[in-house]
Amino acid sequence: MSDSYLNEGSRPFYSHFTCEHEAVDSAIHDLQNDLNDRDNPLPTSQIARRLIQLRELMSRHFLEEEEGCFDEICARQPHMCTETKQLEQAHRMLLEVLDELILDVDNANVGTAWQTRFDRFEKTVMSHEKDERTLVRRGLMISEDDA
């Protein structure tokens, strides 16, 4: 058996990777739905708590990608290391944006402008995940049909 992070092959890891993306997506969409429920507005303390939980989820996921999947891709296909580094930079940027959203959760700042920033964050995460799935499939040599 090799020392590969992916001892069981690429498929189980890819399944885990996509499940984690689904967990992040679900957390964002659930919060978005609750934020859009004008009949039951969330207290800012609850918004902050959920954003902090989302940040923890994303941080763990990013670390696993960077120290597992991306390292494996670079080991298998060194020419792709530049692309993985770009995704790592995107991870830092996403966490910075999330940190700003957390800092601005207070009565004075949760409003239309804050909601617009959260909407933009959601779209950016979805776009990032799409790019990441494409890179990971390419890097681990998983066809789109097998994904």
Reference 86, options 65, 101, 59; nearest CA is 65
How far is Cα 9 from Cα 49, in angstroms, rounded to an integer? Answer: 37
* Confidence band for 5, pLDDT divided at 50, 70 and 90: very low
pLDDT in tens, 10-47: 777 788 788 899 999 999 999 999 998 889 888 889 99
At 127-145, the pLDDT tens digits run: 999 999 999 999 988 876 6
Q: What's the whole-model pTM score?
A: 0.86
Which residue type occupies 48?
Answer: A
Contact 44, 106 (CB under 8 A): yes
Whether 147 shows a pLDDT value over 70: the answer reads no
Output the CA–CA distances (angstroms, integers) from residue 50 to 22, 34, 43, 91, 108, in the order listed.
16, 11, 11, 19, 19
Q: What is the mean pLDDT of residues 102-110?
A: 75
| Residue 1 in this model has a pLDDT that exceeds 60 | no
CA-to-CA distance for 112 and 97, rounded, in angstroms?
17
Q: How deeply is 49 buried, as exposed, middle or buried, from its count of CB atoms within 10 A (0-12, 13-18, 19+)?
A: middle
